[in-house]
Chains A and B, each alone.
Chain A
Amino acid sequence: MTNRRIDLDALSFRIVMTGVALLALVLLAAPTVVVVWVSFTNGYSLKFPPPGYSLRWYVELWNAWQLQFAMMNSLKVALWATGLSILLGVAASLSIARSATLTARVLDSLFLSPLVLPALAFGLSSLMFFSLIGVPVSPLTLVIGHTVVSVPFVVRNTVASLAQMNPALLEASASLGATRWHSFRRITLPLIRPGILAGGFIAFMASFDNVPVSLFLRDAATDMLPIRMWQDLEGKLDVTVAALSGVLIVVTVALMLVMERVAGLSKRLT
């Protein structure tokens, strides 16, 4: 009697938990699968299931110069923002990671604060700032805004890797006569490189995908990819966007697998 009740209890618990988990996993995967699927349609609409299959919308991408132009802009801005984030973020992380001083703690919170702040409010305030000091919006203001919202990812991951590093290694290196620069290059940098790579990768994705900051800080000539796609979707449900999404998904998955190999991405995010 008791045994049976426990079995029922165990069974119902496992069924409910596993069932909900599987449902959630299907929900997580569904949108990605659907976009890739529907991008192979031969029709003009995003009807699901597609009436037939073809590669026509991928071929169409070759002629979609507006999307290509926007993509190049987004890539350039994201590369600049990521480069600046790594340069400034790693330097700042080195100085605040092992320090318990109040200044270091305050700086740490400051550098991470764009993560919780509504990016749209920051975008608007930046536009007000630049117009007040008389600087017109340009690719430069875009890079500055994107760097502010990307740098927290680099700081967070670099600080975490520095915190895991054993300081005795640096002491040993110094006592063996290595200069600080030499110790940094031969010991610190190799140990924190995966953290910097993972942070840089997420920073790049955050910038490439940013809409709220770009909306305010771009000039009329600088079309950005997510904004272009968003506006194309608001107006008409364009199937070319589905093909482009398919390309972006494949590139993202490939980059994710590479980052998992070289930087242990998933371990850094949990």
Chain B
Amino acid sequence: MAATLRNVTTYDLRLAAPLALGFVVFFITPLVILLALSFQADPQGTHYGLTQYVNFLGDRFSLGVLGSTLWLGVKVTLLTLLLGYPVAWLHQRAPSWAKGIIMLLVLLPLLTSVVVRTFAWVVILGRQGIVNAALASLGLIDTPLKLLYTDTGVVMALAQVQMPLMVLPLITALGRIDPNLADASSVLGAGHWRTFRKVTLPLSLPGIIAGCLLTYAAAITAFITQSLIGGGQMLFMPMYIYQQASTLQNWPFAAAISIVFLVAVLVVVSIFNVLGRLSRGYTNA
């Protein structure tokens, strides 16, 4: 009897078979082919070896593209955290009508088309854009500043585009903190800054790490924003892969760059996952 009762609450694992099969054929197999192709020494596939990887790792230009992509992710993630944390903090304290508005503002970019969001930044940062128009009307500049196609422009646009990914886990994390802890801290004489540094910030660490992971992974793979705001002069990994694959038809090299990029992303994800596990242990202690 007990066994039959337990059975009614779970479903047969075979229900997952169609999706699992689909993933094996259309997700895992392509990735295996990608890996195999990256070991081809030439586009015809006459010999195999590490040629493509040697080419990538021995080329200052390629390494520079990888480096600037990973560094871009760091800058975007830090800016997003700096701007996003106070938003989550405000959401926590706001009356419920204001909570709704904050949530709408946070979710809107997440669900608006990336092309539309990026396009807006082109309008804001362009030579005739808002920033330049405002600075000119204040008499601060004579000639328009170059903001589009610069590193600063890319970081700002990406920070806005990815901010929801940071704010949502932070709102969850702040909601889980017992408000009595902050009260206890202030009763014991700690000021607001000190309470924030010693109580709130450490307890929200799981949310910070989850938010950083999502933001970082999204920022370094954000193909559209990188190419539209960065323009032709700034090359990041996704565009590099696309150029090699589509324009130059150099599939083995494109495959090798993809694998290098995949491994880099997986390493970053694993580091954040380990940090996340450590931080959860810390906040439960």
Chain A positions near chain B (C-beta within 8 angstroms): 5-6, 9-10, 12-14, 16-25, 27-32, 34-35, 38, 45-49, 88-89, 91-92, 94-96, 98-99, 101, 103-104, 107, 110-111, 113-114, 116-122, 124-129, 132, 144-145, 147-148, 151, 167, 170-171, 173-175, 180, 183, 202, 205, 208-209, 211-212, 215-216, 226, 229-230, 233-234, 237, 241-242, 245, 248-249, 252-253, 255-256, 265-266, 269-270
A132 to B106, Cβ gap below 8 A? no
Chain B residues within 8 Å of A, Cβ to Cβ:
4-5, 8-16, 18-20, 22-23, 26-31, 33-34, 37, 82-84, 86-87, 89-90, 102-117, 119-124, 126, 128-130, 133, 159-160, 163-164, 168-169, 171-172, 175, 191-193, 196, 217, 220-221, 223-224, 227-228, 237-238, 241-242, 245-246, 251, 254-255, 258-259, 261-262, 265-266, 269
Interface contact A38-B123, CB-CB below 8 Å: yes
The interface residues of chain B lying within 8 Å CB-to-CB of A233 are 115, 119, 122, 228
Which residues of A have CB within 8 Å of B14?
95
Contact call B31/A125, Cβ cutoff below 8 A: yes
Q: What are the nearest 4 A-B pairs in CB distance?
A: A31-B120, A13-B192, A125-B34, A21-B86
- Measured CA separation A45–B254 after assembly (Å): 37
Q: Is the CB of B107 within 8 A of A269?
A: yes
Set of chain B residues within 8 Å of A212, measured between Cβ atoms = 221, 223, 238
Question: From residue A177, how far is it (CB to closest CB) to chain B in Å?
Answer: 12
Contact A252 B111 (CB under 8 A): yes
Q: Which residue of B lies closest to A145 (CB)?
A: B26
Contacting pair B9 A170 (CB below 8 A): yes
**Chain A: minimal CB distance from B113 (Å):** 5
* Contact residues in B for A121 (Cβ distance below 8 Å): 34, 241, 258-259, 261-262
Q: Contact between B113 and A21 (Cβ–Cβ < 8 Å)?
A: no
Judging by beta carbons under 8 Å apart, are B22 and A35 in contact? Answer: no
Contacts of B107 in A (CB 8 A): 256, 265-266, 269
Contact A17 B90 (CB under 8 A): yes
B191: contacting residue among A6, A49, A148, A229, CB under 8 A: A6
Take A95-B12, A95-B15, A256-B104 as given contacts and tell me if A46 and B126 are in contact as well, using a CB distance cutoff of 8 Å. yes
Given A28-B163, A245-B119, also A175-B5 (CB < 8 A)? yes
Pick the residue among A30, A118, A148, A237 that contacts B23 (CB under 8 A): A148
Bound-state CA distance A29–B117 (Å) is 10
User: Which A residues lie within 8 Å of B133 (CB)?
Assistant: 48-49
- 27 contacts across the A-B interface (CB closer than 8 A): A13-B193, A14-B192, A19-B86, A21-B86, A28-B160, A30-B120, A48-B123, A89-B19, A91-B19, A95-B11, A95-B16, A99-B10, A107-B20, A111-B23, A116-B217, A116-B265, A120-B242, A120-B258, A129-B33, A147-B22, A174-B4, A211-B223, A212-B223, A212-B238, A215-B242, A226-B114, A242-B119
Instruction: Give min CB distance, A50 to chain B, whole Å.
Output: 11
Alpha-carbon gap, A132 to B33, bound state (A): 9
Chain B residues, Cβ within 8 Å of A253: 108
Known interface pairs A95-B11, A183-B8; 15 further A-B residue pairs with C-beta atoms within 8 A, sorted by A's residue number: A16-B86, A17-B90, A19-B86, A24-B84, A28-B87, A35-B116, A49-B133, A117-B262, A120-B241, A124-B255, A128-B30, A129-B33, A148-B26, A212-B238, A266-B107
Interface pair A27/B238, CB less than 8 Å apart: no
Of B104, B116, B123, B237, the residue contacting A248 (CB under 8 A) is B116
- Answer whether A24 and B103 are a contact pair too, CB < 8 Å, given A46-B126, A121-B34, A211-B223: no
Contact B120 A128 (CB under 8 A): no
> Which residue on chain B has the smallest CB distance to residue A31?
B120
Q: Which of B114, B171, B259 has the most CB of A within 10 A?
A: B114
Pairwise interchain contact B9-A167, C-beta atoms closer than 8 A:
yes
Contact A211 B114 (CB under 8 A): yes
Residues of A within 8 A of B159 (CB): 27
What B residues does A16 contact at CB under 8 A? 86
CA distance A113 to B110 in the complex (A): 19
Question: Cα distance A249–B117 when bound, in Å?
Answer: 10
- Nearest-neighbour CB distance to chain B for A209, whole angstroms, equals 5
